[in-house]
Amino acid sequence: MANKWFETVAVAQRRAERRLPRSVYGALVAGSEKGLTARDNLAAFDELGFAPHVAGLAPTRDQSTTVMGQAVSMPVLISPTGVQAVHPEGEVAVARAAANRGVAMGLSSFASRPIEAVTAVNAQVLFQLYWSGTRETMVQRLERARAAGAVGIILTLDWSFANGRDWGSPWIPERVNLRALARLAPEAFARPGWTWSYAKTGHFPDLTTPNMAAPGSPAPTFFGAYYEWMQSPPASWADVAWLRSQWDGPFMVKGVSRVDDAKRVVDAGATALSVSNHGGNNLDGTPAAIRWLPSVVDAVGGQVEVLLDGGVRRGSDVVKALALGARAVMIGRAYLWGLAANGQAGVENVLDLLRGGVDSTLLALGRSSVAELNRDDVVLPPGFRRSAGS
Ligand SMILES: Cc1cc2nc3c(=O)[nH]c(=O)nc-3n(C[C@H](O)[C@H](O)[C@H](O)COP(=O)(O)O)c2cc1C
């Protein structure tokens, strides 16, 4: 059997492109409008340099830390992604990989697998919610997450229903019925490895969202769940504080850019926030998450755990974010490429690459643990930072 190990996330992405049907690959590339934010999430990391030492380096280096009350083996979490049809085992494969590597996992409410199947294989699951539906339905979702053993909540707030991409959006069927199959058949036949992986299971991707189901009701389709969310009036800060009061454990708000919003997240009682722009999938033109990170850390870093997600593709990116004050990072596309390329082993491969990259960067910087990283370790070009609100 061919060696399926890959040496970088970029190689995994190329394999994912070769393996996935065009529509599924396009849904992962995502981005919005002109793709400015998605591109800047990557470009901003490239602008940051390192200030390495050459002697007196640490012979061993410790990456373990705690995030949202969880002891983790490295400062990387799986970011929640509502992505369907990448792999037949979907989030369960990701959860096993994360558990094997001592990494906590965010599970999207738009995920393809029920939370109970995911917590059964990973004891460090953070359930992600959108402000969608009535307060009653949101409380039901929290209760279900609690009963399933979720150890924390991620409330994702950065979504404004932008649509349209200059490079074209993939067609996604409401249901995988005969008509949809006929339309998708040319793509599926062009990707026999992926098609066979589903054929072996005896069913097609069903494109439903089991974690959005009302008690005793069938899972809504992806579009059904999306419609509920679109119809829900956007959350006020009082709503955020109310939802936080319904969960007596770690609670993250994901999607923050501005300092004034970060302060309101603190006021709402959250224990963590992620500086994030949804991987460039939301308001296009929002600067890269890493550009906002230092100002958010300066403002609220003493009061909440500050994480970052958006654009992390290698271990040195993780170190850059930690040097600028993040407690940990979350990864999205990086593990999705691994999942597409080689299932659970592919996600483990990605986590191992990040771990190896963090380790060699710590070595070069003369740091013996991730806790020692600080701003002296990176070189910021003039004008790198962004800050808004006070
Ligand atoms: C295809 C796709 C689906 C996503 N779905 C969700 C989601 O359901 N919930 C959520 O909070 N974030 C979602 N995100 C955003 C990720 O959690 C994360 O913020 C983003 O992927 C980080 O950027 P990166 O992909 O460059 O690592 C999604 C991202 C992608 C690429």
Residue nearest (by alpha carbon) to ligand 1 atom 1:
28
Please tell me the distance between residue 261's alpha carbon and the centre of ligand 1 in angstroms: 20
The ligand 1 atom nearest the CA atom of 333: 25
Pairing assessment for the beta strands 272-275 and 305-309 based on DSSP bridges? parallel
The ligand 1 atom nearest the CA atom of 254: 11
And the tokens for 62?
């410790």
Residue nearest (by alpha carbon) to ligand 1 atom 28:
81
Q: Average of pLDDT values for 62-81?
A: 98
The ligand 1 atom nearest the CA atom of 310: 23
Q: Average of pLDDT values for 55-83?
A: 97
Tens digit of each residue's pLDDT (9 = 90 or more) over 142-167: 999 999 999 999 999 999 998 799 99
Q: For residue 205, name the pLDDT band (cuts at 50, 70, 90).
A: confident
- 255 φ/ψ angles, rounded to the nearest 5 degrees: 115, 15
Please tell me the distance between residue 81's alpha carbon and the centre of ligand 1 in angstroms: 5
Per-residue model confidence (pLDDT) at position 89: 95
Residue nearest (by alpha carbon) to ligand 1 atom 4:
81
Alpha-carbon dihedral of residues 75, 81, 87, 93, nearest 10 degrees? 40
Per-residue model confidence (pLDDT) at position 111: 97
Per-residue model confidence (pLDDT) at position 181: 83
Q: Average of pLDDT values for 68-72?
A: 98
The ligand 1 atom nearest the CA atom of 42: 26
Per-residue model confidence (pLDDT) at position 84: 78
- Listing DSSP states for 261-281 in one string gives HHHHHHHTT-SEEEE--GGGT
What's the DSSP call for residue 73?
Answer: S
Task: Tell the residue number behind the tokens 């998708």, with chain if given.
Answer: 184
Mutate to test the pocket of ligand 1, among 278, 286, 308 (most ligand atoms within 8 A of CB): 278
Catalytic site residue 87?
no
CA 350 – CA 358 distance, rounded (Å): 12
Q: For residue 225, name the pLDDT band (cuts at 50, 70, 90).
A: very high
* Sign of the C-alpha dihedral computed for residues 331, 333, 337 and 340 taken in this order: positive
Tens digit of each residue's pLDDT (9 = 90 or more) over 108-150: 999 999 999 999 999 999 999 999 999 999 999 999 999 999 9
Please tell me the distance between residue 376's alpha carbon and the centre of ligand 1 in angstroms: 30
Flag whether pLDDT at 187 surpasses 70: yes
Q: For residue 3, name the pLDDT band (cuts at 50, 70, 90).
A: confident
Per-residue model confidence (pLDDT) at position 178: 81
Please tell me the distance between residue 256's alpha carbon and the centre of ligand 1 in angstroms: 14
Q: Average of pLDDT values for 62-90?
A: 96
The ligand 1 atom nearest the CA atom of 156: 11
Per-residue model confidence (pLDDT) at position 370: 98
Residues with CB under 6 A from ligand 1: 27-28, 30, 41, 79-83, 108, 110, 128, 156, 254, 276, 278-279, 281, 309-312, 331-334
Q: Average of pLDDT values for 359-371?
A: 98
CA 339 – CA 41 distance, rounded (Å): 21
Flag whether pLDDT at 220 surpasses 90: yes
And the tokens for 151?
């150890």
Please tell me the distance between residue 187's alpha carbon and the centre of ligand 1 in angstroms: 24
Q: Average of pLDDT values for 304-321?
A: 99
Flag whether pLDDT at 29 surpasses 80: yes
Residue nearest (by alpha carbon) to ligand 1 atom 21:
332
Q: Average of pLDDT values for 348-354?
A: 99
Per-residue model confidence (pLDDT) at position 83: 77
For residue 245, which amino acid is it? S
Please tell me the distance between residue 78's alpha carbon and the centre of ligand 1 in angstroms: 10
Mutate to test the pocket of ligand 1, among 81, 129, 159, 292 (most ligand atoms within 8 A of CB): 81
Best CA proximity match to 85, nearest among 218, 222, 267, 217: 222
- Give the chain's mean pLDDT: 96
The ligand 1 atom nearest the CA atom of 154: 11
Please tell me the distance between residue 365's alpha carbon and the centre of ligand 1 in angstroms: 30
Q: Which of the residue ranges 203-212, 250-259, 283-292 would you say has the lowest mean pLDDT?
A: 203-212
**Is the pTM of the predicted complex or chain greater than 0.85?**
yes
Q: Average of pLDDT values for 167-178?
A: 85
The residue ranking higher by pLDDT, 2 or 293, is: 293
Query: Which is catalytic among the residues 53, 87, 203, 278?
Result: 278
Q: Average of pLDDT values for 328-352?
A: 98
